[in-house]
Chains A and B, each alone.
Chain A
Amino acid sequence: MSLLSVENLQIRFRTGDGLVHAVNDVSFDIAEGQKLALVGESGSGKSQIALAIMGLLAKNAEVAGKVRFDGRDLLSLPASQLNALRAAQIALIFQDPMSSLNPYMTIERQLGEVVELHEGASRAEARKRALEVMEAVRIPDARNRLRAYPHEFSGGMRQRIVIAMALICRPRLILADEPTTALDVTVQAQIMALLDEIQRDLGTAVLLITHDLGVVAGFCDDTMVLYGGRVMEAAPTPAIFDAPGHPYTRGLLRAVPRITDGDVTLSAIPGSPPNQTAAPRACPFAPRCVDAIPACHEMLPDFREGRACIRPVEELT
C-alpha cells in the first residue's frame, strides 16, 4: 500500500479576476521510502499541491479530490488531527530559508518546540534533540549555536536548519518545496547531498518539488512533469531523461544548458505559462507546443501510459 495517495486533486482559488484553476486532476502515489519529483515552471501549481497535502492552502482556495496518507483522508481530517500529523508524520521544507525561520526566536526554541509539541518532550530533552539534529545536518559548533537567531547564520546554514526542523520528529514523508532554489550553486549541491544521505539513513519518503530538472536527475526515483496545473508526463526518472514522451518535457530538457562539441546549447520554450482563469478545454501546452496539431487546441488529452499527449511518441520532434 502506498504511503501517500493523491487522487484527482483539484485546487481552485477565488480571486478578484475570477476562479483560478491552479491544479487540475492530479493523481500520484508515493510508497514508503520512495522519492518522487514534481517538476514544473513557476505557476504550474506544484507548490500548491504540497500545501494542499499539509492542509495549509490559503483561505480562498477550494480543494476537491482525495489525499490519503496512511489510509486517512487528509482533506476531511479535523484541524486537531491534522496538526498531530504535521511535522510528526509529514514535514514540509520551504523554499526560502531567509524568511521561513522566525527571526525573533532562537534556533533551539524553533527546533525544540516541534518535539515538545508532538512527543511531549521536556525543555531539556527538546534541547538535546535539537542539538542532535543540528549535528546531523552538520552545523558546525552546533552546541554553541543553539541560542543563536536565524540572522546569525548564512543562507546555506539556515536551509540546513530548516531541514533539521523537518527531520526532528523523523517523519515518514518530507515535502521539499524548491529546497535549493534560493541558494548558491555550490551550496545547492551540498544541500541535495545532505538530503540524499538523510533520506537513505532514515528511509523517509520524499516529494521533491522543483523547476530544475538538474536537481531531479541524481536524486529521485520517479518524476512527474506538471504544466498549467496538469500532469503532462510521469515516469521513472531515467526514462524521463532518456526518452521523454511529452513535447513539454522535451522542451524542459532542452532548456537545461548542456555543452555539446564546445557549444553551449540552450533553447527556451517560447511563450509564457497559460492563463488559468478558465477551466481548461484543450491541452494547456498546445499554444507553446512545436508539435501541436489542430486537434490539440480542441480537446483535453487523456493521461494514458504515463503521458498526456494525443500525438504518438514517434511523431514528436
Chain B
Amino acid sequence: MFNYTLRRLLTVIPTLLVLIVFSFYLMRLAPGGPFTSEKPLPPAVMQNVLERYGMDQPLYVQLWTYIKNIVFHFDFGPSFAQKDRTVNDVIAQGFPVTLTYGFWSAVFVLVLGIPLGIVAALRHNSIWDYTMTGLAIFSQIFPNFVLAPILVLLFTLSWGLLPGGGWNGGQWEYIVMPAIALGTSYMAGVARLTRGSMLEVLNAPFILTARAKGLPERVIIWRHALKPALLPTLTYMGPVFVYMITGSVFIDVFFSTGGIGQDFIDGAYSRDYSMLLGLAILYSLLTFALNLMLDLLYAWIDPKVRSSL
C-alpha cells in the first residue's frame, strides 16, 4: 500500500512536467504578451519591464528558473498583470474559497446522490424509481451554466432567499447556491449509477446466499450489498472531480465568489503567464490528490485490488 502510494506520487512529476512545458511554450510562442497594449511602451521602458520579470532571457532559461523556484522555494512568481500581487498571494486568497464550496458540493453530490440511487433501486419499478430516474436524466442534461442563472432567478430575484453572489467570509448563505449549481448534474449521475449498480448487485448470487442465511433485508443491504454497489460510484467520482474543477471556474466567475477561477480567466484575458501557469499547476495537483484519494479508498474497500497493490 505504501509502495503503491509512493509510486503514484512519483507519477505526478511527469504529468506536471508535461503540463508546464506544454503550457509554457504554448503561451510564449503565441503572439502578444502581458505588456502589449494599444499604446506600445517606449523600447527602453519595455526593456526594463522585461528584465524585471526575467523575460529577456532565452525561453528555456526562463522555464528552468520557473521550475526551480517552484521546487525549491514553492514560489510561483509575481503576477504579470495584477500589480504587487504574487501568484502565491492569489492562491492563498482564492483557493480556500474554491475549496470550501467545492467540498460542500462534493458532500451534496454524495450524501444526496447515493441514498437516492439506493432508494430507487430498492423500490425498483415503483413511482419513486421512475421519478428519480426521470429527474436524474433531466438534471444531467442541465449543465451548471444553465442551472446557475435559473437558481439565481428563483432564489435571489424572485424569492429573495439567498444572495446571488459574493462570498462574505464563507457564510453558509453564500455557499448554498454555488455548491448546488456545481454539483447537481453529478449528483444525478451518482444517483443513476448507484441505482444501476445496486440493482446489479442485488441480483448477484452472493446476495441470494445472504438471503438463504436468513439475514434480514436491512442487514443484506448494509452488510452485503452496499460496498460492492458503491465501487462503480467511486470509480465515477474520478472524472466527476475533474469536471467539478472545470465547473468551479464557471462558478467562481458567475457567483463572484473570489475563488481562483476568476483569476484564471482574468489571467487568460491579460496574458498573465505566471498566473495561468501557477493556477493550472494548482488545478492539476488538486485533481491528482483527489484521484489518489479515490484509488486508496477503492483499494481499502476491494480486497482483490488491495492484495494486488
Contact = CB atoms under 8 A, between A and B. Distances in A.
Interface stretch (B17-25, B103-111, B181-189, B204-212): B204-212
A54 B223 CA distance: 21
A99 interface: yes
B216 interface: yes
Contacts of A99: 204-206
Interface string B207-226: 01111111110010001100
A68 interface: no
Given A104-B302, A152-B307, A87 B204 contact: no
A221 B285 CA distance: 69
Given A88-B214, A113-B215, A103 B304 contact: yes
Interface in A55-89: 56, 80, 82-88
Given A105-B224, A151-B303, A83 B206 contact: no
Interface string B190-213: 000000000000001110111111
A113 B212 CA distance: 12
B301 interface: yes
Contacts of B211: 54, 56, 86
B53 to A, nearest CB: 56
Interface residues of A, number: 30
A103 B216 CA distance: 20
A82 B214 CA distance: 7
B214 A100 contact: no
A113 B220 CA distance: 11
Contacts of A86: 211-214
Contacts of B123: none
Nearest to B209: A100
B216 A102 contact: no
B212 A92 contact: yes
A118 interface: yes
Nearest to B210: A102
A149 B214 contact: no
B301 A104 contact: yes
B212 to A, nearest CB: 4
27 contacts: A54-B211, A56-B212, A80-B216, A83-B216, A84-B214, A86-B211, A86-B213, A87-B212, A87-B213, A87-B214, A88-B214, A92-B209, A94-B205, A94-B208, A99-B206, A100-B205, A101-B209, A102-B224, A103-B304, A104-B228, A104-B301, A105-B223, A114-B213, A117-B215, A117-B219, A149-B304, A162-B209
